[in-house]
Amino acid sequence: MIKVFKFGGFAVSDAGSVKNLVKIVSEYSDDQILIIVSAMGKTTDALEKLCNSYVEGKEDAQDILKTIKQFHENIMVELFGTKSHPVFDEIANTFVEIEWMLEDEPHPDYDFNYDQIVSVGEFLSSRIVAAYLNENNIDTKWMDARDFIHTDNTYREGIIDMDKTRSSMPVLNSALQKQTVVTQGFIGGTSENFSTTLGREGSDYSAAIFASLLNAESLTVWKDVPGIMNADPRLFASAQKYEELPYSEALEMAYYGATVIHPKTIKPLQNAGVPLFVRPFLLPDEKGTRIDSTAKLNTDISAIIVKQNQMLLSISSKDFSFIDEHILIYLLQCISEAHIKLNMMQRSALSLSFCFNQDEAKFRKLYDILKDKFKCKYNEGLDLITVRHFKREELETITAGRTIIMEQFSRNTAQIILQ
């Protein structure tokens, strides 16, 4: 059976981590392995900068590109030694695609430019990883994710055409019968053969799509954490790891902002019944966390999810009229058009208040639409804390010494906005 392994940016951030990846894969020589990789280290951020500089016609585009090239070249030199290895040409050719773009005028659609440039990060890393697996006698084929993950033209948030994507799986399946396959997370292709991306951190989602459509035995995401923790160990010293979690709970946690897995990852796996393992990349003998339908949830442990940099916007009418259903629909429409995702919402007779990730551009867009018709008040720099399976005493400890701006409780979930 097929096992899908996903290695994020951290797991391919330098030569040492690529070596560790190969060591992990070599332990599974009896399995059919599909490897999904992210861009190396912080390459996606660097490519975003490059794209902005290009679109804004700034002068530092070439310098940014040079830094990205140098970063990859250093890793290759450490892995392959001499520059005579064919991977150096493959990588140079991959960069040529960006260079050609940079010589032309930017396309009027920023998101289109973004996807053509930023997707290159995954092409670079997958080429290097595939070459290094072959170098270590793991017979590996590099494949282009755009031939499998078919999307529409929604650049930066490509919507996958599931039927078309499903019908391309037999080709991948038969390749996997013969060789280990390396492909890219995060990217797809349109019917006109342009690249799309699936949203930041989207390679977990790609891996879930591959695993579910291939009916894989499992998906393993190799992470820089021991597994799924009930809280961020950097903020809560007593954080502990879950041995197992039901799909539904993992989905809730991702939805409320636990960053260890992308929120879209769970649904395809649940639908296809493919278990997900979240395992520590640096301690590959550890079991990590298993997520499937048989897992039992230990509600003695509460999950604490902290989202920082939150904004709270309260909208009320100027003439003392109710926020009725009509107005509510209008407001939600405006919020959706500004691409704002609500993290918490509360309504009273005269106002609608909601909390979302601070993003100046999106906020301005919404504010400009609403400011003439409504009274708008806002706070910035807040924390939103969500506690699943909360205990009252625990909430007191979490909020001690802080000002509570707003709170909301359901049977299982407490949400508190703190200053």
- Contacts with ligand ASP by CB under 6 A lie at 8-9, 38-39, 44, 121, 185-186, 200-203
Residues 262-281 that bind Mg ion (CB under 5 A): none
Residue 117 CA to residue 101 CA, distance in Å, equals: 8
Minimum distance of ligand ASP from residue 190's CB (angstroms): 18
Choice between 188 and 312, CB closer to ligand ASP:
188
Choice between 185 and 280, CB closer to ligand ASP:
185
Alpha-carbon dihedral angle through residues 253, 246, 302, 299, given to the nearest 10 degrees: 150
Choice between 37 and 366, CB closer to ligand ASP:
37
Choice between 125 and 314, CB closer to Mg ion:
125
For residue 315, the SS3 value is: strand
Minimum distance of Mg ion from residue 87's CB (angstroms): 22
Inter-axis angle of helices 120-135 and 15-26, nearest 10: 60
Alpha-carbon dihedral angle through residues 206, 209, 211, 215, given to the nearest 10 degrees: -170
For residue 219, the SS3 value is: strand
Phi, psi of 199 (to 5 degrees): 100, 145
Q: Contacts by 165-170 with C-beta closer than 8 Å and gap 24+?
A: 165/209, 165/213, 166/213, 169/213, 169/214
Of the listed pieces 4-12, 80-88, 259-267, 400-408, which binds Mg ion according to CB under 5 A?
4-12
Q: CB neighbours of 159 closer than 8 A, spacing ≥ 6? A: 151, 152
CA–CA–CA angle 258, 329, 379 (5° rounding):
50
Site string for Mg ion, 6-45 (x = CB under 5 A): --xx----------------------------x-------
Tally of CA atoms within 13 A in the half-sphere of 321 that contains its CB: 10
Identify what 13 binds: Mg ion, ligand ASP, none; CB under 5 to 8 Å per kind. Answer: none
Choice between 47 and 305, CB closer to ligand ASP:
47
Identify what 75 binds: ligand ASP, Mg ion, none; CB under 5 to 8 Å per kind. Answer: none
Minimum distance of ligand ASP from residue 49's CB (angstroms): 13
**Facing residues of 292 across strands?**
246
Minimum distance of ligand ASP from residue 10's CB (angstroms): 9
Minimum distance of Mg ion from residue 201's CB (angstroms): 6
Identify what 200 binds: ligand ASP, Mg ion, none; CB under 5 to 8 Å per kind. Answer: ligand ASP
Residues contributing to the site for Mg ion (CB under 5 A): 8-9, 38
